[in-house]
Each structure stands twice: as C-alpha cells, then as structure tokens.
Amino acid sequence: MSSRGKRKREQRLLRLRNSLTGQGKRLDGLEAELAATVAAKTTIYLDTSHWVNLRHVVLARPTAKPEYAEILSLFESLGSRGKVCCPVGSWMFEELMKQCDPATRQTTAKLMDRLAEAETRKGKPDSRNS
C-alpha cells in the first residue's frame, strides 16, 4: 500500500474513532440520565401471580379480584407521576412466553410495558432489596 493510501486509511480510521468516541460520550450521558430517573422512583417487582391478577382486571374477567383493580389504579397514578416503576426482568419474559393463549399473553405484555414504563432489568431482583 502506498503512503498516500495509508494516510487515507488512517484518516478514515481516525474519523471513525472520533465518531465512536462521541457516541460513547453521548451514551454515558444517557446512562447517567436514566440512572437518575430510575433512582427517583420506588421500584416494585411483581411476581407472576400479581401480573396475572392485574391482567384479569384489565380484561374485566369474572376472576378479577377487586383489590387488584385498586392496585392497578394506584400503580398507574403513581407511575404517571414518576413515583413508582414495576420493571420487568428477563425471568418475567420467560414466564410471559409460557402463556399459551396469544390474546392473554399480548394483554399481559402490554400491561407489563405500561407499568414498567418500558424499563427492564437484568437478572432476578435481590429479595432483600425489593
């Protein structure tokens, strides 16, 4: 490769590195912003049975328990004010996929998305902190 070709290649690599470095700084800023947003909320992890009971309320099923209608209303009210979040972890996605009926699975997924505000977490929560 000629010296001119090497210089062009080096310049392209330098532009690419600068572009990626700028994106990295932007991502660091977004991560910090997300961390601050999450820290301001009370995190409530729900067991599968609670998601199912909340889904019964959403679907107006006869099996819906009245106390879950109150809980759902409270979560939605507090969530809209940025006070609480019910994040969904990978373990809940696994549980969700076990639901055989596509309609109830979709309703549960939409409910999870709404209450989690599209927030997910890695791993299972530490039961001592939740």
Q: Is residue 62 part of a domain?
A: yes
Mean pLDDT, the chain, whole residue set: 79
Please calculate the CA angle 63-66-68 and round it to the nearest 5 degrees: 90
Residues of the chain scoring pLDDT < 50:
122-123, 126-130
Structural domain that includes position 94: 41-121
The confidence score (pLDDT) of residue 59 equals 96
The confidence score (pLDDT) of residue 21 equals 62
The confidence score (pLDDT) of residue 129 equals 43
The confidence score (pLDDT) of residue 108 equals 93
The confidence score (pLDDT) of residue 91 equals 83
Domain count, the chain: 2
The pair of three-digit structure tokens given for residue 54, joined into one six-digit string: 């909340």
SS3 of residue 120 by DSSP: strand
Q: Is residue 45 part of a domain?
A: yes
pTM of the full structure: 0.64
Residues 107 and 51 both lie in one domain:
yes
Of the candidates 54, 74, 73, 72, the one whose C-alpha atom is nearest the C-alpha of residue 63 is: 54
SS3 of residue 84 by DSSP: strand
The confidence score (pLDDT) of residue 116 equals 86
d(CA 88, CA 120): 5
d(CA 58, CA 79): 17
Please calculate the CA angle 30-35-36 and round it to the nearest 5 degrees: 100
